[in-house]
Structure 1
Amino acid sequence: MATREESAEVWYHRGQGLCSTGDYSKAIACYDKALELSPDDPLYWRRKGFALIRAGRYEEAAASFDRALALDPDDATAWQRKGYVLAHLGEHDSAVACCDRALMLDPEHILAWQSRGWVLGAMCRYDEAADCYEAILAIDPERVSAAWHRNRMRERSELTALASEIREAERAIEVPACIRDVARERDYGNAGLARAVLRELVGRAERAVVQRP
């Protein structure tokens, strides 16, 4: 019979304490001790994965989350954290799929929405990313950071659309330098206004061609 000093639970709580102080290497060693004694506990694998994330050991973290999910495939937090890790490893599509799985299990999992928004933003899928932050605000309207990120994603979407519209407009007009400057300088705040002005200029040019005798 295991003594208290060598029980898995004691090693787990010791790891938790070390995580709270930022000593992740020692925390990982404690989780390993806990897992030697209780290798089929998905919580221990998940917590080890979290400590590995904090230590920047992403491939090992992914393996830990895989073990956790093999034992408990309905753990939304493990899916979310696996997605976060895969994003750091450059596997963006798989990361989004993990976040989707987390949200299927728990539609109000704020960290899953947050991770999904972050990954989609990195993939330049700005409108979808903004929708993720909007979902967070539907759950927690007071979450200021989500509102900030939503607005940045919308601005980046506007800027991407502006660059595309400039290329299209060049077929019909000489695009003003001030509008080109907005795109070149990545002036997110004025992208929407620049798009509106550009559309008006193109519309005038098109109407002039139609009215020409």
Structure 2
Amino acid sequence: MAIRQENAGVWYHWGQAFCNMRKFDEAIACYDKALELSPGDPVIWRRKGFALLKIGRYDEAAASFDQALAIDPENATAWQRKGYALACLGEHKDAVACCDTALTLDPRHILAWQSRGWLLGVMCRYDEAADCYEAVLAIDPDRRSAAWHRERMRERRDLEALAVEIREAERFIEVPACIRDVVAERDYGNVALARAALRELVGRAEAVAVHRS
């Protein structure tokens, strides 16, 4: 790994100061100056990537993390942040792969678990997303945001299951509007009741059909 040239360190610390002040354009300019002097420093590439993320320049951020990873491929945070950049570009499958790499390197990387959970939720893979937030809670039981997101993923899973059951039930009965409305209005609080009612209605219809036969 390259040793940071002295003047590069000055520019790097200026970049850090601007980041702390949320002046990300100025920070990026400083990191660029530092990289002119120490292009083989993965820390500067990572910090530049972080600043680029903050101002929504996701393509450039991903490229900065690629540069960092070419020098230091075992940095879990660089993989996680590259995944976040790719997610913002809509490249969800590749973003999940980046999170997986980060977690292979550091199984207790909370941000990688959270990013993976968010991505899987976007991809409607709700059980897997809930498992990611469960992993966060195993590391930090007091992280309330993870508990909140885990429950939201379970709610979405159950709502999707109700939608599937409604489509299947339509072959046998006319599904009441009040049950359809639970899905249409995303009424998570009544999903369990709606599923139970729908199953009872389908059961009655099947019993009548058997009796008639």
Q: Distance in 1 between matches of 2:133 and 2:193?
A: 23
Amino acid across the alignment from 2:141? P
**Partner residue, 2:177:** 177
Query: The residue matched to 1:7 in structure 2 has which SS?
Result: helix
Instruction: Report the more deviating stretch, 156-165 or 77-86.
Output: 156-165
Counterpart mapping for 1:44-83 below 5 A: 44-83=44-83
Q: Partner letter of residue 124 of structure 1?
A: C
* Match in the other structure for 2:106: 106
Q: Deviations over 1:131-157 (max 9, x none)?
A: 111111111111011111111111111
Q: Which position in structure 1 is the counterpart of 2:3?
A: none
Which amino acid is the alignment partner of residue 21 of structure 1?
A: M
Aligned to 1:13: 13
What does the per-residue CA deviation read over 1:68-102, in whole Å, with 9 as the maximum and x for residues that have no partner?
00001101000000000000001010000000000
Q: Which residue of 2 aligns with 1:88?
A: 88
Q: Note the C-alpha offset of 1:160.
A: 1.0
| Distance in 2 of aligned mates of 1:99 and 1:72 | 16
Seq. identity, % = 75
Alignment-mate amino acid for residue 161 of structure 1: A
What is the match of residue 23 of structure 1? Answer: 23
The amino acid across from 1:137 in the alignment is: L
Could you give the per-residue CA deviations for residues 26-85 of structure 1, whole angstroms, max 9, x where no partner exists?
A: 000111111111110111100100000001110000100000000011010000000000
**AA aligned opposite 2:78:** A
State the Cα distance separating 1:19 from its structure 2 match. 0.6
Q: Which segment drifts farther, 135-144 or 6-15? A: 6-15
| Aligned counterparts of 1:197 and 1:139: Cα–Cα separation in 2 | 39
RMSD: 1.4
**1:10-36 CA-partner distances (Å, limit 9, x unpaired):** 111111111111000000011111111
What displacement does 1:166 show?
0.4
TM-score using structure 1 length = 0.94
Counterpart in 1 of 2:151? 151
| Cα distance in 2, alignment partners of residues 168 and 34 from structure 1 | 62
Instruction: Give the corresponding residue for 2:136.
Output: 136
Q: Which moved more, 1:133-142 or 1:187-196?
A: 187-196
**Which deviates more, 189-198 or 148-157?**
189-198
Q: Distance in 1 between matches of 2:26 and 2:210?
A: 75
Q: Deviations over 1:173-202 (max 9, x none)?
A: 121111011011111222222112212221
- In the alignment, the residues of structure 1 paired with residue 121 and residue 115 of structure 2 have an alpha-carbon distance, to the nearest angstrom, of 10
SS at match of 1:137: helix
Structure 2: 5+ residue stretches without partners? 1-5
Structure 1 runs not aligned, ≥5 long: 1-5
C-alpha distance in 1, partners of 2:56/2:28? 12
What's the counterpart of residue 198 of structure 1? 198
